[in-house]
Amino acid sequence: GENVGLHLPTLSVQEGDNSIINCAYSNSASDYFIWYKQESGKGPQFIIDIRSNMDKRQGQRVTVLLNKTVKHLSLQIAATQPGDSAVYFCAENTALSGSEKLVFGKGTKLTVNP
Amino acid sequence: DAGITQSPRHKVTETGTPVTLRCHQTENHRYMYWYRQDPGHGLRLIHYSYGVKDTDKGEVSDGYSVSRSKTEDFLLTLESATSSQTSVYFCAISHNPPRYNEQFFGPGTRLTVL
């Protein structure tokens, strides 16, 4: 079935650098996308979302880019800090068994080196 | 964790025993979800509820049942636990359907089936 995937399972960056986490999705009918951050031992935490009628959305130190042509989603984190170390998931709203549900990617582990 | 609690937070049980996990919310959100999280699979939807006594299956519902007798509580039951159900279970809530806004997650329950 269609699902959300990831380009890289791990990403290591230096503190202060910008981070880019990528996500590929395969359902062209998906119209809503979310990025979550999950720290060790905790539940996923909402970071930012974007709808399919937008190409870009900015939050505090984060930007999400959506390229519907190639079905690609990315999360950019500016001036990455040690507190950004976590696993990041993308999720898409899609139809499963006739109902709309969020489908999650497997995650990218971001490590920020001091 | 957006007014979401899960109990118990950790549980060890034996194969064949029944197990019930509880999710409690104080946000008065209509939608509630149960996910399981396993290495290599990310978050997968087990069951969800779109109102009191209104529930539906997710992608990995076999071996699980749910009940929602009041808005604030969503129970997940493993009728006869198996080792393959060893996992971390997350409850999530949302005010609107998946396509309209994000889901907020609880802290998780780590279940080990021996």
Q: Which residues pair with A19 in a beta bridge?
A: A77
Q: What is the pLDDT of residues B37-90, one digit of tens each?
A: 998 778 999 999 999 999 999 989 999 999 999 999 999 999 999 999 999 999
Cβ distance A49 to B56 less than 8 Å, yes or no, reads no
Q: Is the pLDDT of residue B93 over 70?
A: yes
Mean pLDDT of chain A: 89
In the DSSP assignment, the letter for residue B92 is E
Q: Is the pLDDT of residue A7 over 60?
A: no
Cβ distance B101 to A49 less than 8 Å, yes or no, reads yes
Contacts of residue A88, Cβ cutoff 8 Å, sequence gap at least 6: A21, A35, A36, A37, A38, A47, A75, A107, A108, A109, A110
pLDDT at A96: 64
pLDDT at B94: 93
Chain B nearest C-alpha distance from A7 (Å): 14
Q: What is the pLDDT of residues A51-102, one digit of tens each?
A: 999 999 999 999 999 999 999 999 999 999 999 999 999 999 887 666 778 8
Q: Which of B43, B88, B105 to mutate to test the interface with A (most CBs of A within 10 A)?
A: B43
Pairing of strands B87-94, B42-51: unpaired
pLDDT at B39: 82
Determine the Cα–Cα distance for residues A106 and A95; give it in Å rounded to an integer.
19
pLDDT at B1: 52
Please tell me if residue A97 touches chain B, with a CB cutoff of 8 Å: yes
